[in-house]
Structure 1
Amino acid sequence: MSDTLADTYSRRGQLPGQDIVRAWESDSQDTLSRAINTNFNSPSTANRFNGLGASLVEQFAKNGAGISQSVLYASADRADSAGEIKTDQTLLHSKADNLVSLSIKTASGKTVTFSLSSQKDGLGVQANVEGGALSADELKAVGQLGSAFQAAVDGLTAVPPKLDLGNLTQFDSKVLASVDLNTTLKTLNGPDLKLAFHADSQSRTTRMSSLSGELNLSVDLKNASILGNAQQQAKALKSYLAQFDRAQERGSAKAELMTQFKDAFSALNSNYPQGASLPEALTRNPTDQGLLTGLADFKASIKQAVDSSNPMRPSEVDSFAYDVSQKTRVGGKSALDRSVIQDQQSSLSASFHKGLKGGKAPELSGDPNSQNYLYIQVEDKASSSANIGYKDGLLTNASVSQTASQNTHTQQYVMGKLVDETNVPKEAAVQRDYLVLLEYAAKESKKSKDALEESTLKDALPNMQASVLLQNDPSALVR
């Protein structure tokens, strides 16, 4: 290279000041900065965020001071320009391709927000506080959520993504008022993965959208009087998760999306806040507990992204939409005169293609030779309603009504021609009255607790609890 060219270009063939360098926001050499430096070498978001969430929370919890650190690839000239590089750093923290933020509000009204940001040319973290310095107790409570934050980040950046949110609900509600997790993650193909999670002493919500579909779940914790004991809640949760599996199989839903739905449902319906007071209208006696699920009221839905997989019949879409809910109404002014109605419901609407022998979906194309398949549409509904009533302290109503219906419409195509079409409906309804059983239980319990335990009621009461749980299979109702 001539002297003139050497003066004009660097060894990399670039103009002076255009060499790419790593520009750091802070010259700190702490543990967090070293982790950022190591992780920046990885192209994957999962590896870049590895350990950063926990490390960020841990460092903040030591003294409550704000934190802002980042590293960017920039030209030497831009790195030396304080104004320009500051603009890039601000954009990285707020507009990066991949953003995860954890916002924690204390009971005293302060808010601390932790954020992780990553894009091709940058990686950053921040911890900001609003409303004043945190107390020692608040710092301790915030610090205890570091591992939960990291677990959530690790799950969301995994392939396929997982919803590991359960530990974010485990915080001291006397010190912390709420926890919010918000995420935007860029994907290689299709829309970004977006998640919004919220938890406080009154409610919990999770919303997620991705290439696979959408999830929307909410739990109402205000009516703490309907909550059962840990054993009852575990039984109800297990029953619901089994129903979700059956819905997935019946509607041929994508396993990845249903797993995320189940994980979110489990997280929101576990570790309920403790110490809630009971209204006078409802007590936790065996009757009230036995005819309720033990879970908090909720709404949950899953909707798979619609796919038109048959070019010869675009209207034959592959779809899956399922929603499920529980709503409880408590009436009356006292324990002597009260009523409780708990309604559960679910609905499934799905359509999908299968091979003629019931195997996996065929590879459909414009070639008639590929058009050998079954196109199946299902429409299911289920409900369960428990009714409890007291008048002047006496039990007057204790019943459960349940319904379930399934409709299966199947079209069979051979060489692109419809050769068979069937429609199979199933439905069932049952009503169970437990008034006599519970009156007898009340009499036995008055004699002694031992008498109740030794009687046949020991098995009858758990069976009654099981009969309350929603059942989406008509054949199971008539057994």
Structure 2
Amino acid sequence: MNPITPIIRTTQTYLPASTVTPGNAVKAASATAASSKVSIGQSPPSTDIGIYNAKGTLGSGQVRYVWEHDGIDRLSLNMYSAIQSSSTASRFQGLGAALLEQLAANGGQRISQSGLAIDSATATEPMLLGLQQARLREFATDSVTFTLNTASGATVSLGLYNSDRGLAVDAEVLGGNLTAGELDGLTKMADSFQGALNGLAQEPPGLKLGALVKLDPALFTGLQFKAQLETAGGARQTFALQMDEHTRSLELQAPSGNVKMNFDTQGGTLLGSEAQRQAAVSNYLTQFDAAQQRGNGNEQLMTLFKDAFRQLNSVDDAALRPANHDTWLNKTSRLLLSGMADFNASLTTPEQRTNPMRPHEIDSFDYTVSQTTTRNGGAANLSLQQDQQSTLKASWHESLNPWVELQLTLDSKSQDYRYHEVHDQASSSTRIGFVNNVLVEATATQQASQQERVRTYQQAELQSDMTTSASAAQSRDLLDMLDEFLAQDRQARRLGLGSRLEQQVQSLRNLWLLQSNPALIDD
């Protein structure tokens, strides 16, 4: 979209471009009759905007913007400025926060505003304009929707829509009215909503969810955040975040690859202490880095994956525990757990066939990781098992000369490379059991295997084909260790001393948390 020189047009008043400022825009809007439409014009574009006029033919000449409602509020002024930008990030800059703040400021009353680009020769018949304004939302190139479920039972709904034909926003409250606290909560959420929107609109995209993932349960019980954006290269990028009190899911589909995550706290009963959860999260982040390096994965995409994992786990930092938190799973039964919500997550990149001479050689990266916790029996006779596992499948081409970029063609002289194929698996399992409230079982098992096949070619001739593998497995009975720690803890309490139980267990978590490197599974 070409840079534009703004001028204010109404059905009655015209201002030269040199005199237009946001203040002039306000004055012009105030001076016109209530039925007048205020529009911001621009210099003629290099290409036709492709909007049909009332006669059914494409218009030509100068382009102007017709506004759905005359407005002098912050939101409308923000839109007047944003619509002159050429990039999605610039058009959405500040717009999400302004929309959320204005919805809160007017007590939740419905908001609808749009700026429609039309040719100056196009008739401004109200019905036709209404249809075109509706199409701004229906056929937007970039769209963002945000829904909040409130504790009072109402639903807050926002929408932002962008295309070369204009810009539109909507906001409303359905199914009730917002309380004063909920309105205040919307205002406080505005910056986080805008930050998340800015992160998604930047290239490459980033995840900056902020307070969106830390909803105050006294005000909000869930949210849905969806975005469909077009990158500078014309590719589609989609994002979806959904959360309620105990579950949450995130999916990002970008040109570089896809990230998916789902979490379930089983009603909050799985959640351990902050130190316990942080140790588990830190261990997983280490595993993610190792997978990216071993499988030659996309570093920027793995950063997104890690950011999503870290931020979605931070939801539980201040999450309320259920009333029966210590009876469903007592403190002792949680000692060998991660303290995190159960989850499954994956990171995949599109398959690419970069070698025309050998199209069966595919460049790819596919990583999955999960945690599942199962429970049998009641509090007195409890059996608990937590399983963690990961799988990495990756393949890629590598130049024999690190200083020369690999460019494979049908010419055999270009065929100097190594082709890597990696297949790794890892798992861990912990079990703990009680009979008549007495600890009778505490075991941990770790297993990891790695395999890599490397074929080396010089001028298209196979020089070597080597496969290396490593594996390790270890099972441990931790019952005596836990019994000793628990006895020491009871003695400390009798003497009025502080408990060291969690710190003692914390120092040994490497014995049962997931470990993908066989060399790091101790004998």
> Structure 1 length as normaliser, TM-score?
0.92
My pick for the range that moved more, 253-262 or 457-466, is: 457-466
Q: Please name the residue that 1:374 is paired with.
A: 418
Q: Deviations over 1:399-458 (max 9, x none)?
A: 110100001011000001111001111110011221111111222222223879799978
Instruction: Identify which range, 394-403 or 454-463, moves more after superposition.
Output: 454-463
Cα 1:223–1:388 shift into 2, 3 Å: farther
Q: Given that residues 224 and 277 in structure 1 are in contact (C-alpha distance below 8 angstroms), is that contact kept between their aligned partners in structure 2?
A: no
2:414 aligned with 1:414: no
The counterpart of 1:288, out of the listed 294, 313, 333, is 333
Instruction: Name the CA distance, whole Å, in 1 between partners of 2:302 and 2:403.
Output: 20
Question: RMSD value over aligned CA atoms?
Answer: 2.5
Contact 2:59 2:119 in 1 (8 A): no
Deviations 1:45-90 (A, max 9, x none): 1111111111110111112111111112112354621111111211
Structure 1 residue aligned with 2:70: 27
Q: CA deviation at 1:241?
A: 1.0
Match of 1:311 among 344, 347, 356: 356
Per the TM alignment, residue 366 of structure 1 is displaced from its structure 2 partner at its CA by: 1.7
Given that residues 403 and 430 in structure 1 are in contact (C-alpha distance below 8 angstroms), is that contact kept between their aligned partners in structure 2? Answer: yes
Secondary structure of 2:406's aligned partner = coil
Quote the sequence identity (%).
35
Asked if the contact 2:399–2:405 (Cα under 8 Å) also holds between the matched residues in 1, the reply is: yes
> Higher RCO, 1 or 2 (CA under 8 Å, sep at least 6)?
1
Change (3 A) 1:16 1:418: closer
- For residue 274 of structure 1, what is the aligned residue in structure 2? 320
- Which of 135, 156, 168 lines up with 1:91 in the alignment? 135
Partner of 1:427: 471
Any conservation in 2 of the 1:280–1:333 contact (CA below 8 Å)? no
Q: Structure 2: which 5+ runs fail to align?
A: 1-42, 49-57
Moved more, 210-219 or 343-352: 210-219
Identify the residue that residue 38 of structure 1 maps to in structure 2. 81
Residue 257 (1) aligns with residue 301 (2): yes
* Alpha-carbon shift at residue 251 of structure 1 (Å): 0.7
Please tell me whether the aligned partners of residues 317 and 351 of structure 1 are also in contact (alpha carbons under 8 angstroms): yes
C-alpha deviations, 1:243-275, integer Å up to 9, x for none?
111101111111121111111111211121223
Residues 452 and 228 from structure 1, CA distance in 2 versus in 1: closer, same or farther, beyond 3 angstroms?
Answer: farther
AA at the equivalent of 1:39: A
Structure 2 Cα separation of the partners of residues 359 and 470 of structure 1: 37
Q: What secondary structure sits across from 2:113 in the alignment? A: strand
Question: 1: distance between equivalents of 2:291 and 2:439?
Answer: 37
User: 1:145 aligns to what SS in structure 2?
Assistant: helix
What is residue 302 of structure 1 aligned with on the other side? 347
- Which one-letter code corresponds to 1:464 in the other structure? L
The answer to whether 1:181 aligns with 2:225 is yes
Matched, 1:47 2:90: yes
| 1:134 CA displacement | 1.8
Question: Once the 2 structures are TM-superposed, how far is the Cα of residue 223 of structure 1 from its aligned partner?
Answer: 4.1
Q: Which amino acid aligns with 2:346?
A: S
Deviates more, 1:109-118 or 1:12-21: 12-21
The alignment status of 1:325 with 2:370, answered yes or no, reads: yes
Identify the range of structure 1 (338-347 vs 444-453) with the bigger mean alpha-carbon deviation: 444-453
Q: How far does the alpha carbon of each residue in 1:130-178 deviate from its partner, in whole angstroms, 9 at most, with x for none?
A: 2132222222223322112111100001111112224211112232121
- Partner Cα distance (1:345, 1:452) in 2: 41
Does the C-alpha gap of structure 1 residues 39 and 332 become closer, same or farther in structure 2, counting only changes over 3 Å? same
- Give the distance between the partners of 1:477 and 1:258, measured in 2 at CA: 24
Deviation (angstroms), 1:343:
0.4
d(CA) in 2 for partners of 1:280, 1:308: 54
Residue 124 (structure 1) aligns with: 168
Letter matched to residue 323 of structure 2: S
AA partner of residue 303 (structure 1): T
Counterpart residue identity of residue 430, structure 1: Q
Letter in 2 for 1:27: D
Alpha-carbon distance between aligned partners in 2 of 1:452 and 1:195, rounded to the nearest angstrom: 52
Query: Deviations for 1:296-337, whole angstroms, at most 9, x for unmatched residues?
Result: 100001110111111111111100000000000122222x21
Contact 1:281 1:337 in 2 (8 A): no
Aligned length: 467
SS of the equivalent of 2:128 reads helix
Structure 1 contact 356–372 (Cα < 8 Å) conserved: yes
Distance 1:86 1:142, change over 3 A: same
User: Which one-letter code corresponds to 1:467 in the other structure?
Assistant: L
Q: Which residue of 2 aligns with 1:353?
A: 397
Q: What's the CA shift for 1:209?
A: 1.2
Deviation at 1:289?
3.0
TM-score scaled by length of structure 2:
0.84
Other structure's SS at 1:390 match: strand
Instruction: For structure 1, list consecutive stretches of 5 or more residues without a partner in the other structure.
Output: 1-10
